[in-house]
Each structure stands twice: as structure tokens, then as C-alpha cells.
Amino acid sequence: MLLRKKMAKKIAEAENMKYAKTQYITGLLTNNDKLNDILLTLPLSSFNVGKSITIEGEDITIDKNKYNCREIGDVVISTEGSMAVYDAYGKRLCSRFKLNPASENIELFCVWVRQNNISVKVKSGKPELILQYAILIAVIALIAVLRIKMG
């Protein structure tokens, strides 16, 4: 019983950290406070975001496809933390599997987005949250069924 309580506490702490990071990243993308204004003066040259995205000046390379910042239509972040990059015609160039708040240099990416005046949209994460809970319930049900059959 004590182990379950410790596990539940660690899960709750991880959830809180995830949401705090998501709120921080959303703030970097959207707020205009003095700290963010200072960040916008940072000179950015070349850096990687995660494993498959590279920023070089005004250009972004996603996988092996290179785009100029003017070709980017929107960067969308959900309240659950998933992010996506869309071109000017609404085609998704990059999804949450390559870009999320846990990605390396995500803060620099946010500064790059702001410096290049790329539109940012924040959307509700409720559909994602419902999907996460549905998967969790399915996994718990599967474990229960397996225990019943094995036991």
C-alpha cells in the first residue's frame, strides 16, 4: 500500500512538472513581458531542436526538408504540450513526435519563432487528454484480463 502511495505521488509530481514546462513554453511563445523582450534580442545562429530539426538563421530544416521562416504559417501548441509546425497552406511540417516541450533547445526554438514573427496558436488539449485516459483505461483493463486468465 505504501509503495502505491509513493508511486502515485511521483506520478502526480511528474504531471505537475509536465504542465509547468508546457506553461513556460507557451509563455515564451506568446507573452510580451520584459523577460521575453530580452530573449528576443539574443543572437541566434545555428542549433538543433531535438534530433530532426535544425535552425540556421532564418531557415529551419525538418528531417531533410529545408524551409525559410516566411514559409511557416503557424506553430501550434496545445495545453497538453504537443506542438506542431504548419506551412502557410496549413500542411503539417512537423508533429509532436519531433517537437515537444521536452525537446532539446526548445526554448531557443521559441525565441526563433518570436524573432521571425511566426504566428502562434494555443489550442485546447482536451481531445489529447481524453485519448490519454482512454489508453490508460484500456491498459488497466488488459492487465486485469491477463491477471484473471493467468491466475
Query: What parts of the chain have a pLDDT lower than 70?
Result: 1, 32-40, 96, 125-129, 151
Q: Is beta strand 65-68 parallel, antiparallel or unpaired with respect to 72-78?
A: unpaired
pLDDT at 118: 94
pLDDT at 26: 87
pLDDT at 71: 95
DSSP state at residue 43: -
How far from the centroid of its chain's Cα atoms is residue 68's Cα? Answer: 21
pLDDT at 13: 84
Q: 112-144: string of b/e by CB count within 10 Å (b at 16+)?
A: bbbbbebebeeeebeebeeeeeeeeeeeeeeee
User: Quick check: helix, strand or coil at residue 111?
Assistant: helix
- In this structure, the dihedral spanned by the alpha carbons of residues 121, 124, 125 and 131, taken in order and rounded to 10 degrees, is -120
- In this structure, the dihedral spanned by the alpha carbons of residues 23, 25, 30 and 36, taken in order and rounded to 10 degrees, is 110
pLDDT at 139: 87
